[in-house]
Amino acid sequence: MLEIIRKGVGLAILSFSFIATTTKLQAQNQVPSALERIVSVNIYNEPAKGMLDLIGKQTNVVFSYSPKVLENRPPITLEAEKQSIRLVLFTAFGETVKMKSRGKYIILTDNRNELKQPFGDKPQVIEGYITNPKTGEAVSNATVYDQKLLLSAVTDEYGYFKVEVPYGELSKQLQVKKQGFADTTIVPTSNSSFVLLKLPATALDHLKDISKKGETFITKTFPKWLLSDRQKTNSLNVGDTIYRNWQVSLLPYIGTNRQLSGNVVNKYSYNIFAGYSMGVRVMEVSSGVNIVRGDARYFMAGGANYVGGHMKGVQLANVFNRTQSVNGVQAAGLFNYVAGNVQGVQLAGVFNHTVQTLTGTQVSGVLNKADTAIGTQVSGVLCRARFLNGTQASGVANIAKGTAKPGQVAGVVNYIDGSISGVQLAGVANTAKQVVGMQASGVANRAETIRGAQLSGIYNQADTVIGIQSSGIINRTKVLKGAQFGLVNLTDSGDGVAFGLFCYNKKGIHQLEVAADELFYTNITFRTGSRRFHNLLTVGVRPDNLGSHTLWTYGYGFGTSLSLYKGMMLDADLYSNNVIAGGNASDENQLYRIYLGFDKRIGRKTSLAFGITTNLFTYKDTPLNNGKMLSDAVPYTLWNKMGDDGRTFCGWIGGRVALRF
């Protein structure tokens, strides 16, 4: 069924495009009608046949007629200077002869008997020429129409028009309109009326401006292939809006509203393949394409919908919807395009594009795009908005240039070149200028300012963090006014706190410490971080035991420093060290130490540190150099206990003195 509908939509669009293109090509390649050839005639009491022969010799046309056409006709006296053959024949015969042309042939038929019939019993024909009274030039592209019967014609390059009224109907009044000319009325007087109308031009410049604006609107709203030149001409000339309760069309201009369908607002409309109208007041349905020049409401359904104005209500299409603005629900199998604003819901199988503001919800299988999104954008692949005040959720990426409230959720990447006031969640990466809330991703986050939390599995980067920055591996910020949690924390400045295996503050603590204690006489420690929290990377050796069984140690710790007064700090540090004894680097020997001491500045970049330590040592006794055991290296113990596995637990109070550079 869907395949049949798709084929029907394609056929409708193709048919309409073919008709419009064929009309344009015919207009471009059309040879001037034989009736429009120019002739000069000056005769006196000449038989009708003699006049026709004279015209034929001048213009190389051939007249075709039966003998009775010229029977019982009086001699003709006529003077015409450079006039069309049609006008000369009408002047000579009046409405008693019907004429038409085919190539160089002009076919004449007798109309005298039909003229005797009562007015309205025969099909009515109104034709003639429209000229400019000031210049005498033909007025082309003027619309002649009957608003009641919805009949119309457009003057050609010679100013000629012809309106044929179907049998059984009667036109009582025709309107003549063209941008820049005065509106005029034609009142037919018989079944066959020939009109020579002089259409005065108006001197009002604002009408020219209106014409330009109307032409610009139609040109921008509808592609060239969608409306023929004649359709555009009617739409521009006929300023009246015509209202009808219903209409049925096979194709544009082939339906109950005829050539004026582009100026008719219908209450109900059904288009078999395609239809064109000025507007819809209640409902329009088509198996193919609905084309509306103005506004539409309350329900529209078709293979494709093309609305030049505002859509209020529900718009459904198998392929696509195109409108100027929407207030309601717009759903399409492929895509929706709105040149203005959307208030409501946009649903599409592939993508939605709102050129201006979306207030509501946009859902698509692949892509959503809006200049400003106030609400929710949901897409299988990508959501794009210049300004976002709501939520973006997509399977791959969200992109916004402005503010996001409350946030963005994406399977891969979120990007906003502005502020997030809420949550930004991505499977891989987030980037934003300012985040007030939370930024979380599986791999990396990037922001200029974080006021809240920045969480990632691998890497966080920010210019300023006022809150929490936490990652599985690396945190990087220029200014830290909060807390960092990660294996590696890198900061340029700030009074925040960094917790991790390695913390580096460019304007914080960077000290190399050479220290001695009762167990290891030589220790080198790198202190890095901030005063409030810093890391301690340490290594030590016992020099009196150098050899194949030298006693070594390495470890990690962290600490904090409190300023007591100028040049004096109070330090509190916690260390965890692995002790290597007898060449065994296993974790069997662990030393845990709490240090409490003072740091006294003795130079511009030098200080003396000293304090007491509380030590907990768990070890397995191992031979050292010089015939000693590891237990002999322990200075003394306040408590000592051996476990069932042969490991010894002991503790003591010690001291530590150091120079820091």
Quick: pLDDT tens for 487-539: 998 999 888 888 888 888 888 888 999 999 999 999 999 999 888 888 999 99
Tell whether omega for the bond before 166 is within 30 degrees of 0, i.e. cis.
no
Percent of the chain topping pLDDT 70:
87
CA 431 vs CA 149, 468, 589, 650: distances in Å = 63, 16, 46, 52
Predicted confidence (pLDDT) per residue in 448-490, tens digit: 898 999 999 999 999 999 999 999 999 999 998 889 999 998 9
Q: Which range, of 47-51, 419-423, 487-491, 516-520, averages the lowest pLDDT? A: 419-423
Higher pLDDT, 29 or 158: 158
Q: Is residue 604 part of a domain?
A: yes
CA 570 vs CA 16, 564, 599, 657: distances in Å = 88, 7, 6, 14
User: Which of 12-26, 426-440, 574-588 has the highest mean predicted lDDT (pLDDT)?
Assistant: 426-440
Indicate the pLDDT class of residue 379, thresholds 50, 70 and 90: very high
Domain residues for 633?
509-660
Q: Is residue 277 part of a domain?
A: no
Indicate the pLDDT class of residue 550, thresholds 50, 70 and 90: confident
Q: Is residue 576 part of a domain?
A: yes
- Point out the domain boundary residue: 213, 238, 263: 238
Query: What is the predicted pLDDT for the residue at 58?
Result: 92
Mean of all residue pLDDT scores within the chain: 86
Over residues 59-68, the mean pLDDT reads: 93
Indicate the pLDDT class of residue 19, thresholds 50, 70 and 90: very low
Q: What is the CATH number of the domain that holds 607?
A: 2.40.160
- Point out the domain boundary residue: 183, 217, 238: 238
Higher pLDDT, 215 or 556: 556
Instruction: Pick the closest to residue 221 from 355, 348, 386, 349 (CA basis).
Output: 355
Pairing of β 192-198 and β 502-505: unpaired
**Is the pLDDT reported for residue 8 higher than 70?**
no
Query: What is the predicted pLDDT for the residue at 172?
Result: 86
Predicted confidence (pLDDT) per residue in 259-297, tens digit: 888 889 999 999 999 999 999 999 999 999 999 989 999
Q: Are 47 and 76 in contact (CB under 8 A)?
A: yes
Indicate the pLDDT class of residue 112, thresholds 50, 70 and 90: confident
Exposure string for 619-637, b = 16+ CB within 10 A, e = fewer:
bbbbebeeeeebbebbeee
Instruction: Pick the closest to residue 390 from 358, 366, 365 (CA basis).
Output: 358
Indicate the pLDDT class of residue 549, thresholds 50, 70 and 90: low
Q: Angle at the Cα of 476 (from 470 to 481), degrees rounded to 5?
A: 70
Measure the CA–CA gap between 441 and 430, rounded to whole angstroms. 6
Query: What is the predicted pLDDT for the residue at 182?
Result: 87
Q: Which range, of 220-224, 435-439, 457-461, 647-651, averages the lowest pLDDT? A: 220-224
Question: Per DSSP, what are the bridge partners of residue 131?
Answer: 138, 198
User: Which of 114-118, 207-211, 417-421, 521-525 has the highest mean predicted lDDT (pLDDT)?
Assistant: 521-525
Tell whether omega for the bond before 521 is within 30 degrees of 0, i.e. cis.
no
Q: Is residue 429 part of a domain?
A: no
Query: What is the predicted pLDDT for the residue at 206?
Result: 44
Q: What is the CATH number of the domain that holds 161?
A: 2.60.40.1120
Higher pLDDT, 401 or 426: 426
- Point out the domain boundary residue: 220, 238, 256: 238
**Is the pLDDT reported for residue 377 higher than 90?**
yes
Query: What is the predicted pLDDT for the residue at 207?
Result: 44
Query: What is the predicted pLDDT for the residue at 226?
Result: 59
User: Which of 162-171, 328-337, 405-414 has the highest mean predicted lDDT (pLDDT)?
Assistant: 328-337
Q: Are 575 and 555 in contact (CB under 8 A)?
A: yes
Instruction: Pick the closest to residue 295 from 352, 241, 249, 246 (CA basis).
Output: 241
Chain-centre distance for alpha carbon 254: 35
**Is the pLDDT reported for residue 209 higher than 60?**
no
Q: Are 598 and 611 in contact (CB under 8 A)?
A: yes
Percent of the chain topping pLDDT 90:
53
Q: Is residue 176 part of a domain?
A: yes
What is the number of structural domains in the chain? 2
**Is the pLDDT reported for residue 13 higher than 80?**
no
State the DSSP string of 163-210: EEEPTT-----EEEE-TTB--EEE---SSEEEEEEE-PBP--HHHHHH
Indicate the pLDDT class of residue 63, thresholds 50, 70 and 90: very high
Phi, psi of 533 (to 5 degrees): -155, 125
pTM (2 decimals)? Answer: 0.69
Give the SS3 label for residue 89: helix
Over residues 366-389, the mean pLDDT reads: 91
Measure the CA–CA gap between 63 and 73, rounded to whole angstroms. 17
Tokens in use for 308? 């030049």
Q: Which range, of 99-103, 219-223, 286-290, averages the lowest pLDDT? A: 219-223
Q: Is residue 529 part of a domain?
A: yes
Q: Is residue 46 part of a domain?
A: no
Q: Is residue 626 part of a domain?
A: yes
Measure the CA–CA gap between 532 and 495, rounded to whole angstroms. 8
Burial of 228 (0-12, 13-18, 19+ CB in 10 A): buried
Higher pLDDT, 179 or 344: 344
Measure the CA–CA gap between 86 and 95, rounded to whole angstroms. 12
Q: Are 195 and 117 in contact (CB under 8 A)?
A: no
Query: What is the predicted pLDDT for the residue at 117?
Result: 74
Query: What is the predicted pLDDT for the residue at 11?
Result: 46
